[in-house]
Amino acid sequence: PGTPGRSGLPFTPIGPTAVTVDNVTVPVGYRWDAILRWGDPILAGAPTFDPNNQTPAAQAGQFGYNNDYLDIIETNRAGTSALLVCNHEYTNEGIMFPPGSDPETVVRTVWAAHGMSVVELRRRKRGDAWTYVPGARLNRRITLDTVFAVDGPAAGSDLLKTAADPTGRSVRGTMNNCAGGTTPWGTVLSGEENFNQYFLATGTDPREARYGLSATQDARGWRFVDPRWNATTPDYANEPHRFGWIVEVDPTDPGSTPVKHTAMGRFKHEGANVIVNRDGHVVAYMGDDERFDYVYRFVSRDTLRPGNSAKARRHNLQLLSEGDLSVARFTGDGLGDGVSDGTGEWLPLTRGGQSMVPGFTIEEVLVFTRLAADAVQPTKMDRPEDVEPSLRSGRIYVACTNNADRGKVGKEGPTEPNPRNLNKDGHVVEMIPSGGDHTAATFEWNLFLICGDAASAGTYFGGWTGPVSPISCPDNVAFDSEGNLWVSTDGQPSAIKVSDGLFKVPVEGPERGHVQQFLAVPSGAETCGPVIHDRDSSVFVAVQHPGEDGTWAAPQSRFPDFVPAAGTPAAGQFAGPRPTVVQVTRSR
């Protein structure tokens, strides 16, 4: 049965897709097209993609690797121009470069393949597919060489100073940008996630260890090209402290300096999504994607100034610079009622620019947020990824992707908010702020989805008892104009042995919990993005890391160009996989 009614995206769910299907699968009546692929030239003068001779300079003008967060922001009333904003989370050198490539060239090229892209899109009329505009005025690449300003209470702290930046206020680059969110004032937030893996650290400091920094993790050897990646030296001991932030980018101003907001804390930020509270304070919800880590909330000190005047815009660009950070504790009311639910509280970490954690200065709370949070005993969650409020209902959805360590020897066992041992399938928490107030100290919560397939124990689908599409490892979430939740997954191939995908699920009404699969991604890929423009009958996803376990010589995906390995690729093509932003539109 398809989804009835007024939706611009009626569809009959697709079935689970075999991991060997190396293509995007969409419902009957829909088609997919690539908008941008790794290596497509963006900036004026950037060369056509030539995978056999890739250079740092070429990559710095081309679409980066492993697209993750995505938004498509329309910029005119006719709906014929838009900005595409995208994160480039990490690189996979083994399938990006021919064997024998010069190591320093590889390192410098992947620095340019990280970061973000801003690209202008055009189309003739609503409902058409978008194409990108090479060399357009607003096109921008942000890489590991782009200068960022640091703001908020920890800016200028000794904890952020290095030999190259004695001010502690200016950082070169962003990396491991995973998910994000678009603000009401038109900027994009992006989370710096697994930054630890690129540094050589001493391995002896417990503060390093809490962030996964170690003496063995820098497999990419970046420190041989730039000493800042060697945190064992006094000059760069603080360089890791300069990553792990929420960054804010203004996609409408290619000359603007992007900002790292210390007030929002430092951890493995999946992303940040904001909602304007009824009193005008801007509230950001954030997940720390690690097994047994936490859900956070930031409440701005100042309130949103409405309108688009230059004065309002200047004001709003400062909203995330000062505010109160807290961390969530979820308390269950017992499983006697047959459901995982209960109440919760926001435990303050900072308030009014002061530390609320005994033994921590404000700078220490913000730079070593994980350790400050540990001190107030929040709830250890099963890897919180996207945490996103519905702008329609004000309820917040937390995608806890999985936690293979839950209940293992020496690890915390199941609790009502994280109810399964060795949680391979993940769950989605629904949070309801007390009195509908996003600044309130308390909330109610329930597990909206406990994911899995027919073979998974303990599944729950929002009370829906009819058939559902199997779903596992929720990662990114989005809403359509009717308030339905759309969930994309990362990890189904190992958890339930089918390709990752995109799923629609109503959160209200008689179909609450009715999970329906809309799309599946090619072999080896996770589904990122997603962006749902249902009134425009369009869905966008970022296909990340297709064929990630292959090699240059033996690709495990040929998506999206499908060039035979034995043939001669045409200009701009590649016989291996290319991370790609895909749009899905109606074909009839």
Selected from 71, 120, 192, 193, the binder of ligand FEO by CB under 6 A is 193
Q: Are 526 and 544 in contact (CB under 8 A)?
A: yes
Q: Give the Cα separation of 492 and 519 in Å (integer).
A: 13
Q: To the nearest whole angstrom, how small is the minimum distance from the Cβ of residue 411 to ligand FEO?
A: 19
Q: To the nearest whole angstrom, how small is the minimum distance from the Cβ of residue 194 to ligand FEO?
A: 7
Q: To the nearest whole angstrom, how small is the minimum distance from the Cβ of residue 335 to Ca ion?
A: 5
Residue 341: name its binding partner from Ca ion, ligand FEO, none (Cβ under 5 to 8 Å by kind): Ca ion
Q: Are 339 and 446 in contact (CB under 8 A)?
A: yes
Q: Residue 515 is encoded by which pair of tokens?
A: 């999970």
- What single letter denotes the amino acid at residue 288? D
Provide the CA 396 distance to its chain's centre, in angstroms. Answer: 16
Q: Please name which of 49, 95, 61 lies closest in space to residue 573, comparing C-alpha atoms.
A: 49
Q: Which stretch binds Ca ion (CB under 5 A): 72-80, 341-349, 478-486, 561-569?
A: 341-349
Instruction: State the Cα angle at 478 between 450 and 348, rounded to 5°.
Output: 75
Q: Give the Cα separation of 501 and 516 in Å (integer).
A: 10
Block residue for tokens 């009502």: 416
Residues 208-247, interacting with Ca ion (CB under 5 A): none
Residue 333: name its binding partner from Ca ion, ligand FEO, none (Cβ under 5 to 8 Å by kind): Ca ion
Q: Does 333 bind Ca ion (CB under 5 A)?
A: yes
Q: Does 388 bind ligand FEO (CB under 6 A)?
A: no
Pick between residue 271 and residue 560 the one whose CB is nearest to Ca ion: 271
Which residues neighbour 410 within 8 Å (Cβ) at sequence distance 6 or greater? none
Selected from 288, 490, 500, 536, the binder of Ca ion by CB under 5 A is 490
Q: Does 388 bind Ca ion (CB under 5 A)?
A: no
Handedness of CA 129, 133, 137, 141 (dihedral sign): positive
Residue 193: name its binding partner from Ca ion, ligand FEO, none (Cβ under 5 to 8 Å by kind): ligand FEO
Q: To the nearest whole angstrom, how small is the minimum distance from the Cβ of residue 400 to ligand FEO?
A: 11
Selected from 40, 208, 288, 289, the binder of ligand FEO by CB under 6 A is 289
Q: To the nearest whole angstrom, how small is the minimum distance from the Cβ of residue 217 to ligand FEO?
A: 16
Q: Are 282 and 307 in contact (CB under 8 A)?
A: no
DSSP letter (8 states) at residue 352: T
Handedness of CA 307, 313, 315, 320 (dihedral sign): positive
Helix H or strand E encompassing 493: helix 492-495
Q: Give the Cα separation of 407 and 425 in Å (integer).
A: 15
Q: Does 385 bind ligand FEO (CB under 6 A)?
A: yes
Q: Does 337 bind Ca ion (CB under 5 A)?
A: yes
Q: To the nearest whole angstrom, how small is the minimum distance from the Cβ of residue 538 to Ca ion?
A: 22
Q: To the nearest whole angstrom, how small is the minimum distance from the Cβ of residue 41 to ligand FEO?
A: 26
Selected from 40, 270, 430, 500, the binder of ligand FEO by CB under 6 A is 270
Q: Are 240 and 234 in contact (CB under 8 A)?
A: no
Selected from 113, 175, 178, 398, the binder of ligand FEO by CB under 6 A is 178
Q: To the nearest whole angstrom, how small is the minimum distance from the Cβ of residue 573 to ligand FEO?
A: 28
Coil, strand, or helix at residue 188? strand
Q: Does 382 bind ligand FEO (CB under 6 A)?
A: no
Residues 232-261, interacting with ligand FEO (CB under 6 A): none
Pick between residue 197 and residue 202 the one whose CB is nearest to ligand FEO: 197
What length is written for the chain? 588
Residue 337: name its binding partner from ligand FEO, Ca ion, none (Cβ under 5 to 8 Å by kind): Ca ion
Q: Please name which of 401, 417, 509, 518 lies closest in space to residue 463, comparing C-alpha atoms.
A: 509
Binding residues for ligand FEO, per CB under 6 A? 89, 178, 193, 270, 289, 385
Binding site for Ca ion (CB under 5 A): 178, 333, 337, 341, 385, 475, 490
